[in-house]
Structure formats: C-alpha cells, structure tokens
Amino acid sequence: MKGFYLRQSASSADNPFETLKPLLSVSAALLIAWLIAPVFHHVSLIAFLAWVGLGADGLSSSSYGPEEAYKALGPHSHLSIVLVAMARHWIKDRAKEPRWKSQLAIHGTGLVMCLSILVITTLEKFSQGGWVTVVITGLLIALCFAIRRHYDEVRAGLKRLDDILTTIPLPETGTAPGPSELDANVPTAVISISSFSGFGLHQILSIHKAFPNYFKQLVFVSAAVVDSGNFKGAEELDSLQTNTEANLLKYVAWAQAHGFRADYRMALGTEAVATVEAICLDVAKEFPRAIFFMGRLIFKEEKWYHRLLHNETPHAIQRRLQFEGIQAMVLPIRVLE
C-alpha cells in the first residue's frame, strides 16, 4: 500500500491530469445529480450531491489496493449519490414504508462513511489543488441556492394570483357540473392548462378581454405526464389520471358558472409537448374554427436567466401547431411581485 501511494504521488507530480481528478469527479457527480434531482423543487441539492461525490476518489484509492484495481474500478461518484437519494427516500416516505428504519440505518451508515472519506480526502488534497474543487463547489452551491430562491419567489407570486382568482365565489347555475354539448361550427377557445390555479383562470380572463363576446364555448386540454415521480405502478397512474381529470372538471365548472359552454380533453403521455400537440390536433379536426391558447410567465423586469430557468413549453407547442396550419397564441401571464 505504501508503494502504491508513492506511485500515486509521483504520478500526480508528473501528470497535471491527476490534480484535476477531484474536479472531474465533481463534474460526473453533478451530471448524475442533475438527472436524479427534480430541478424545480430540489435544485439546491444538486451541488450538495456533487460535493458528496468527492468521497468517491478517496473510497476507491484507499480501499482497493493495487493500482490496476483502482484503474479498473474507476471513480464511484454514483455510490454517494445513490446513498443520499436513498436516505432521502426512506425519510420522505417513512409513512408508507414499514421497514424505513432499518433501510435508513443501512444507507445512512454508508452515507456517513462516504462523508467521512470526503472530509479526509479534502483535507489531504487541499494543498495539492483540492482548494480549487472546494471553491468551485462552493460557488455552485451558492448558485443553486440563488436559483432555488428565485423559484420560491415565483411560486409566491403565483400563490398571490391563486388567492385572488380561485377564492372568488362562483354564481349558482342550478345544474350539476359536467361537460357541455358543444357546437363544432362556432368559434371555440382551446386552452392548455395543468392544475387548477390562478394561472389557468388568468388565461380565460385574458381571452375574454382580447376577444370580448367572441368565444361562447371553451375546451380545456391537459396532458397527464408520466415521470419518475409517479411511474411506480398502476395505482399511481390511475391517481395521476384522476387528479388531471378533477382539475379539468374544475375549469369546466368555473367556465359554465360564468356563462360558457365547456368541455375537456386529456391524454396520458411521457412528454408534455408531444402529448398536448396530439390532443390539439384531434381537437382541431373536431372544431375547425378553434383557436388554441397557452400561457407563459412574464416578469416586470425580464432578466437574461429567465429563459434558462423557465421552460419554453408554450412556445414549443405554438410552433408545432402553427406548422400544422393551426392558429395558436401564447398569452402573457404576469407574475405578481
């Protein structure tokens, strides 16, 4: 083992690439963390997971002995990433998992070991270039927390919009809520929505303001998108479809209470843009005079990073529909500050 460490030290002095190993380990861990962490809700975890991934270099170099074994096994950044993810899973879902204590103990022990290796490796390598990794990772952590704070501010602005629009009492219609019978030959506004919120209601009000008394009927479309968070079995898929349909029915009831005929269309898919496009193409065949609307967030002071942090789904759908010769518009939805 002593000879192995001497060979490693000599190799590091002769080959500058050895000094960059911690940084490359962080980069690989950062990529894995980006894939497994839901960006909009846990973006601040990404840099932390990359930081934990530093322990991989120390783990493989201190435990496996021969240099050939080290080279064959390579960095094990994914080990720390998986341990953090699994520990978080057992804590978050402890109400559903009867064995969460034993599983958390196993993964927590492994996580503590990796964190210990991380600290030791950082201290040992600090003067040999490890400080560069510490500085870069610290800056990444600060950046991720800044991004998280931005999303929290946007979420707070949208909540204020919800408080204004979703709390307005609906007028009594005297009929049970349900889809209306629509006329295929009259102008129809087709609105793409997700959950029932002030964002979607703002779209309806914006359409009525831009086209007063033009649209007498509305069709709400939504995609029940299957992702890693809900792709756990038939029960979760049924729940996803039920929740999506319940949100659509709320829009239908709201529109009917304000004098519109309304109906909805939905589909299950793995990608929002393609699924919504397929629904819209079917609706366009059913209602030839339909115009399609999507909402997009706008800010009082537009910053260069807003386009990077907020998806361009509405514009992507608009481009696809317009390419098919269908009228589509993107409505600006202000974020209250």
101-130 residue pLDDT tens:
887 888 778 777 777 777 777 777 777 777
pLDDT band at 182 (very low <50, low <70, confident <90, very high): very high
pLDDT band at 81 (very low <50, low <70, confident <90, very high): low
- pLDDT tens digits, residue range 306-337? 878 887 889 999 999 999 999 999 998 887 66
Write down the pLDDT at residue 101: 82
Write down the pLDDT at residue 190: 96
Write down the pLDDT at residue 106: 80
Q: Judge: domain 175-334, CATH 3.40.50.620.
A: yes
pLDDT band at 219 (very low <50, low <70, confident <90, very high): very high
Residue 201 half-sphere exposure, CB side, CA atoms within 13 Å? 23
Residue the block writes with tokens 């080290």:
70
Q: Amino acid identity of 287?
A: F
Tell me how far CA of residue 320 lies from CA of 273, 293, 335, in angstroms: 9, 13, 26
Write down the pLDDT at residue 40: 38
Flag whether pLDDT at 233 surpasses 80. no
Residue the block writes with tokens 């997971």:
49
* Sheet with 290-298: strands ordered across: 261-269, 217-225, 188-192, 290-298, 328-334
Q: Say how far apart CA 259 and CA 274 lie, in whole Å.
A: 32
Write down the pLDDT at residue 92: 79
CB atoms within 10 A of CB 80: 29
The residue among 171 and 91 whose pLDDT is bigger is: 91
The residue among 268 and 174 whose pLDDT is bigger is: 268
| Domain parsing of the chain, residue ranges | 2-159, 175-334
Mean pLDDT for 123-151 is 81
Flag whether pLDDT at 17 surpasses 50. no
Residue the block writes with tokens 């919504």:
276
Residue 227 sits at the vertex; the CA angle it makes with 221 and 231, to the nearest 5 degrees, is 110
Write down the pLDDT at residue 7: 44
Record the pTM.
0.65
